[in-house]
Amino acid sequence: MLQNKLDSFKEAMRRVADINYSSAVLQWDQEVYMPEYGSAARARQLATLAGIAHRESTSAELGTLMNELLASDDIKDKDRRNLLEAKRNYDEKLKYPEEFVVKMSRTVSEAFNAWQDARKKNDFNSYAPFLEKLVELKWQECELLGYGAHPYDALIDQYEHGTTKADLDKLFDDVKTRLVPFVRTILEQDKPDDAFLYKHYNKDVQWNYGLKLLKQMGYDFKSGRQDISTHPFTTNFSARDVRVTTRISENDLGEMIWSCIHEGGHALYEQGLPDEDYGLPSGEYLSLGIHESQSRLWENNVGRSYDFWEHNYPALQDLYPENLSKVGVEEFYKAINKVQASLIRTSADELTYHMHVLIRYEIETLLMEKQITVKDLPHYWNSKYKEYLGIDVPDDTKGVLQDVHWSHGSFGYFPTYSIGSFYAAQFFNKAMEDIPGLKSDIRSGNLMNLKKWLNQNIHVYGRQYTADELCLKVTGESLNLNHFLNYARFKYEGLYEQLGV
């Protein structure tokens, strides 16, 4: 009897997953292949599926079933954790009227299409009315969910459960106190020459090289594929269908390299989740901070390391001899780690990157507090780039329109990028302790021992733990910014011998 109920619970969860992943396929197509005039119908289709998924996931029968199972003392630990997580999600979804869910889905689709068009035209004003509707819905969502001291609590909790604005303020105060002065010291140093990275690089050759990097990381192309999109992203429909996108600039070699490695890190996490737990919390990623830890670990701790390029650079030189034959691996290593104030978050160096995140966090909180309006966004964006990075924003495409997140309604997402970077340094330190000769592995192009370690220590658990519990289990301590700061100091004091800090 108990097993039958447990089987019914799992089947109900998998039906909801079927609907949500079907929506995800349509969303992937919307960003990759959908023709321009398909946007109106696609918005309707996604809204319809969102309503169906909401009804399925908040049915009274499902709630009763979970309560009955949780009341039993015979439920095993993993099943109990799945039930507790599913019930938490269920109770949260009950706070949303179906009408609101459908309206949010349609508004997101419309806002995304408007963002794409505005970005091409460098015209924020054409996008603003769509974003205004979305922001109004996010205000409503905060009230529906409820929150503690600040409406932003309701937003960040969706991506990093248990985290509050107070936690983020403390973290970013630490960043401003300890990381920002270090970065400013580096910004004052003579910068390495990276002009060769911005010569002409054939896009088809870049594409093929990116595929080789993904294969080297262990990305399974029988369970995934790569395509081109306006903004690089990773999506999955199961652990056996995980797709990545990249973007390529023929005059910026870094665009493709870093988006491939970054999204590849996300994809390895999704491919490493237990496929037999499809639809259950134990088969889903833990949090966006943990997710970002995987992409940032591969992108920065591995992909921007000297060891990685000692192996991979000769092949890149062979592909572009006219640009790189006279550029040594040390010169290349210094160039790809050049620290400089820049406009675009996704191509920022790993240190100033956190200023980009901080800017977005401060703007989002002002927006949620209703201290500023959507129409104010370009002004605040530009002024904060001047304040934190000392640069002038030339246009909206390179400014307030550069990120896709707000058009998706993903307010509260940006802080997880910094959280993920800090987790990444901590996890990589532990991997260095646990894997004898890891640096030698990376130097020889063998990334499988690291992938296996991440599979066994991070990926396989899904949502069986909280982020803090997992961090404690893996590293023996909670998230500790010192790991990132020590990593940054060791690396950049080596790159800038005259730093003296």
Q: Which of 253, 250, 212, 248 is nearest to 229 (CA)?
A: 248
Measured in degrees and rounded to the nearest 5, phi and psi for residue 241 equal: -150, 85
d(CA 274, CA 381): 41
Vertex 480 angle, CA 476 and 483, to 5°: 95
Q: How many CB atoms lie within 10 A of CB 273?
A: 24
Contact 268, 221 (CB under 8 A): no
CA–CA separation, 382 and 360 (whole Å): 11
Cα separation, 269 vs 117, in Å, equals 32
Residue 123 has φ and ψ, to the nearest 5°, of -135, 85
CA pair distance 134, 131, nearest whole angstrom: 5
Q: How far apart are the first and last CA of the chain?
A: 66
**Pair of tokens at residue 416:** 């997880």
The catalytic position among 263, 270, 284, 364 is 263
What are the C-alpha distances in Å from 196 to residues 186, 200, 320? 22, 9, 11
Q: Which residues does 452 contact at the CB level (< 8 Å), separation at least 6?
A: none
CA-to-CA distance for 404 and 416, rounded, in angstroms?
15
Q: Are 226 and 210 in contact (CB under 8 A)?
A: yes
Q: Are 132 and 374 in contact (CB under 8 A)?
A: yes
Q: Give CA–CA dist 194/337, Å, rounded.
A: 9
What lies within 8 Å, CB to CB, of 146 at 6+ separation is 95, 154
Per the document, the length of the chain is 501
| Residue 381: strand pairing partners | none
Q: Is 310 a catalytic residue?
A: no
- The residues that bridge with 252 in the sheet, in sequence order, are 249
Give the DSSP letter of residue 399.
T
Phi then psi for residue 226, to 5 deg, are -120, 140
Helix (H) or strand (E) holding 246: strand 241-246
| Separation CA 101–CA 40 (nearest Å) | 17
Joined together, the tokens standing for residue 360 give 């977005």
For residue 341 the two structure tokens come to 């104030």
Active site positions, annotated:
263
